């Protein structure tokens, strides 16, 4: 099925460990982005990309790295996990807004706990 695929769905990390959250889309969308969702705070943008080889920081980028070597993939790396990074992470993709109804497709999320 076409869409945005995130792996893993659940992860428990120890403080200081590193890991990569995977995000892949098969809709040939140019735009991809990562959000974290915390209770009472909505979703906040971590990093985003407007195309392969181009990334930029969002509202809460500290502690996270991204790269975009292909159109399809946009992995999010936690360099040294901290309890403050316990959250639900969503990846989203979108075509450029040339069409009137172009919107965002969200992945199913990764629930991360850092202990």
Partner 1 sequence: ELKVEQNPLFLSMQEGKNYTIYCNYSTTSDRLYWYRQDPGKSLESLFVLLSNGAVKQEGRLMASLDTKARLSTLHITAAVHDLSATYFCAVTTGTASKLTFGTGTRLQVTL
Least separation in angstroms between CB 97 and partner 1: 4
Task: Give yes or no for residue 5 binding partner 1 (CB under 8 A).
Answer: no
Answer yes or no whether residue 10 interacts with partner 1 by CB under 8 A: no
Query: Taking CB under 8 A as the rule, does residue 100 contact partner 1?
Result: yes
Q: What is the dihedral of CA 8, 76, 104, 106, to 10 degrees?
A: 10
Asked if the bond preceding 8 is cis, omega within 30° of 0, the reply is yes
Angle at 92 between CA 101 and CA 38, to 5 degrees: 120
Instruction: Rule CB under 8 A: say whether 33 interacts with partner 1.
Output: yes
42-71: which residues touch partner 1 (CB under 8 A)?
Answer: 42-45, 48-50, 58-59
Report whether 87 contacts 38 (CB < 8 A): yes
The two tokens of residue 75 are 């992995």
The contact set with partner 1 (CB under 8 A) reads: 31-33, 35, 40-45, 48-50, 58-59, 90, 92, 94, 96-97, 100-101, 103-104, 106-109
């Amino acid at each position: 099925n076409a869409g945005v695929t995130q792996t893993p769905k659940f992860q428990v990390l120890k403080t200081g460990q590193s890991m990569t959250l995977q995000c892949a889309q098969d809709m040939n969308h140019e735009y991809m982005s990562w959000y974290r969702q915390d209770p009472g705070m909505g979703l906040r943008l971590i990093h985003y990309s407007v195309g392969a080889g181009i990334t930029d920081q969002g509202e809460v980028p500290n502690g996270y790295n991204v790269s975009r070597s292909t159109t399809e993939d946009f992995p999010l790396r936690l360099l040294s996990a901290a309890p403050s990074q316990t959250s639900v992470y969503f990846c989203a993709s979108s075509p450029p807004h040339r069409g009137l109804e172009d919107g965002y497709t969200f992945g199913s999320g990764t629930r991360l706990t850092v202990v």
